[in-house]
Structure 1
């Protein structure tokens, strides 16, 4: 185990989480990266996560297998549900979209918290965003505050007066601002996969909500979009 500041960083392989890993590294943390194979439609994002973690010098990268597809309830994990396509990104006021995976960030953060305790880490980084997002309830600042308060009560470090912080550096940034920050840090976005239904080569569909948000982000940032799309 390395000395100094340590953090567990949640990494899906997408644009946001890759930027968070670059930011955590830039802040001087030794980064222990955690990804999940949770039954999502596209597993090529995990290949992207491995590539990004290696390029950014993660101390360790673990991929945990969860079976959230056993519950279903999301277009990402239940193939009987059609992936929303073609419409503008959902307004949160219109309701929670089918791409929301029930309790996903609660589950992910809980597992990250366990590893953080073992590592005696000071922080957990997660790429939730409350600006350019699809209305997921577990991406809101109030959820993060509530989880951090729970973690302080539920862990040895919290009881001993050194609670683990949940760090959300993207929470108030637009997608364009996120991309600009990643570019400043030298992140190669061509290595990331954001599409909800990317093919086996990691090529994006260009139609799902995540693809639309990503494309608009690059356009507004004034940066060429390196995403590979399906023909």
Structure 2
């Protein structure tokens, strides 16, 4: 799939809320939405993640893309724990894991989409973009097409706009793309991937470890796309 393949009927000048983590995937989704004529409102979450450098990356990306508004919402998911991304007592795995990995954050995408839905309803925006992927992903259950389809049904049942016939669409244009295809599409759209941070344990400067699952997937994507890896790695990384 490319940005041209998204069904964007009457998309010109329509508003969209775009979930923007600051990583490679969400940056690509933002560029795809803008390429299809959307006025974009980007939404990030400070949820207690150990890789908080991604929030700085999201701000950089939003500014670079010239979005209408960029909003950061604070959440206390680290208080709930249960994930290596929010609990410092749990180590981020640096080897391939079987099943759903410890970096899965319980209910994260459900919570993020619910808040994006609320903002979309206030903005009278009917489309919400999210950068989930079901091909080159880490096994997270809330990245699957079935979840996105189910949440869209909930969005149209649980809102005033949905009841009044102004339904919502949850758009996941990366759903069936490989990481290499995502990098190729983003590069075609002119994204500066050096602005992005994907690493689960990036340092305060946003430099990647080169060893976690997210780093491995990202590096493989650049390699498959034949695009120079724009990632800035930590000096101790073996990925330099």
Q: Deviations over 1:15-56 (max 9, x none)?
A: 000000001111111000000000000111111100000111
| 1:212 equivalenced with 2:216 (yes/no) | yes
Q: Which runs of 5+ in 2 are unaligned?
A: 1-11, 236-240
TM-score (norm 2): 0.92
Matched, 1:111 2:115: yes
Distance 1:223 1:151 in 2: 38
Aligned to 1:34: 43
Tell whether 2:14 aligns with 1:5.
yes
Deviation at 1:5, TM superposition (A): 0.2
1:197 to 188, 195, 201: 201
2:167 aligned with 1:163, yes or no?
yes
Structure 1 residue aligned with 2:56: 47
Alpha-carbon distance between aligned partners in 2 of 1:97 and 1:6, rounded to the nearest angstrom: 35
After TM superposition, give the deviation of residue 154 of structure 1 in Å: 0.6
Counterpart for residue 82 of structure 1: 91
Which residue in the other structure is 1:66 paired with? Answer: 75
Instruction: Tell me the equivalent position of 2:3.
Output: none
The aligned counterpart of 2:225 is: 221
- 3-state SS of paired residue (1:114): helix
Give unpaired runs (5+ residues) of structure 1: none
TM-score of the aligned structures, taking structure 1 as reference length: 0.95
Name the CA distance, whole Å, in 2 between partners of 1:157 and 1:30: 19
**Distance in 1 separating the partners of 2:35 and 2:60:** 18
Deviation digits for residues 74-100 of structure 1 (CA, Å, limit 9, x no counterpart)? 000001111100x23x4xxx3210000
Find the residue that maps to 1:9 and give its secondary structure. strand
Matched with 1:25 is 34
Residue in structure 2 matching 1:56, options 55, 65, 71: 65
Secondary structure in 1 aligned to 2:132? coil
Alignment of 1:78-157 (within 5 A): 78-85=87-94, 87-88=95-96, 90=97, 94-157=98-161
Shift of 1:4: 3.0
Q: What is the Cα deviation at residue 162 of structure 1?
A: 2.0
CA–CA distance in structure 1, aligned partners of residues 233 and 24 of structure 2: 15
